[in-house]
Amino acid sequence: MKYDFETLVDRSTHGSGKWNDMKRKKSELSYSPVPLSVADMEFKNAPEIAEGLKEFMDTHILGYTGPTEEYLNTVCAWMEKRHGWHIEPQWIVGTHGVVEALKVSVKAFCEPGDGVITFTPVYYPFYMAIENHGCEIVRCPLVYKDNAYTIDFELFEELCAREKNKMFLLCSPHNPVGRVWSAAELGRICDICRRNNVRIISDEIHFDIIMPGFEHTTIHNVAKPSDNIIVCTAPSKTFNLATMQTSNIIIPDDEDRRRFQEVLGFGGPSALGLEACRIAYTRCEEWADEMIQVIDGNRRMTVDFIGERLPEIKAVELQGTYLLWLDCTALGKTKEELEAMMVEAELFLDEGYMFGDEGIGFERVNLAVPKDVLIKALERLERAVKG
């Protein structure tokens, strides 16, 4: 490979949220484990990004800066090339992150007391975005059967038909279960929401990270223009740029965009965040392609390890994202016992209960780490399970 995905950078003194959380959970560690929790990577950034930002600093002033025409056209080109999705530059609204965009969307298009539907278990900030505006979380649990997840369309249609439910927050690809929704599933979602006047906000932040054999369909490509769907995108997961706080929210409808921006207010991505995104989309595509190969290799190794040595645990098929969802329910532990076992083994994962009651007994594992780090974590997991 051209790029380095094996060198581990020690982030223990860099202010990393997940590294700090690891030390909070267990202050005395027997060695230096790497947390496999929060969804950022333990891979070195593409060198083109560091080089490009240095060039930028030599030639620019860090005053108030907004997206340039070149930046907007770059985002449009990425969507067209990687996703077959044609967007217009004026549709793009910059925010500090997708979580911020979810909160703004709920506030802009819902009233306190309205119901907001989402497929559960789901990325926990979805719940925060809904409740922060005084809205009601309306759970539509995914159907878990034969180690796979599907949509309960009968329940979804019933929930959408209830007058109080005004919005649906979609996670596509789905975090934490790793599903990549098919074009047919997305089309059916659009049809149901259209018939019931339910607005769709689609979080597609992981849309570039799709495992071989699967294909992401942006929901806009199966929707009708009148559906007025808002799609939340960012370079942060693909290129490990979370701290740059730069997201591109795609809002085709002029009135929707006005309402969103009115709630959003002033501010947006920083000059360095905008430039990091532009560099990533113009100079780092090869890095992204190699990264997906590495994640897929880590996935295959983990699934094989668990299948051969930990049959009590089931690895749910990972179709998209770099987050593997493990079914540990056969271990027969309460959520507290399961978490305590992981911490004692110095395995710092994301506990399934964080994603809702439907996640109790599950663990989410971040595969975006050097291979040797992952092997050591799996060996610790084996020792913990076998006692």
pLDDT digits (tens, 9 = 90+) for 146-175: 999 999 999 999 999 999 999 999 999 999
Helical H runs in the chain?
Answer: 17-25, 47-59, 69-83, 98-109, 125-131, 153-160, 183-195, 236-239, 254-264, 271-283, 285-309, 335-344, 371-386
pLDDT of residue 30: 78
Burial of 258 (0-12, 13-18, 19+ CB in 10 A): exposed
CB atoms inside a 10 Å sphere around CB 257: 18
Least Cα distance to 175 among 209, 201, 200, 145 occurs for 209
pLDDT of residue 349: 97
Which helix (H) or strand (E) is 143 found in, with range?
strand 143-145
Regions of the chain where pLDDT drops below 70: none
What are the structure tokens assigned to 249, written together?
Answer: 């929210």
pLDDT of residue 235: 98
Query: pTM of the predicted model, to two decimals?
Result: 0.96
Length reported for the chain: 387
* End-to-end C-alpha distance for the chain, whole angstroms: 38
Q: Is 366 helix (H, G, I), strand (E, B) or coil?
A: strand
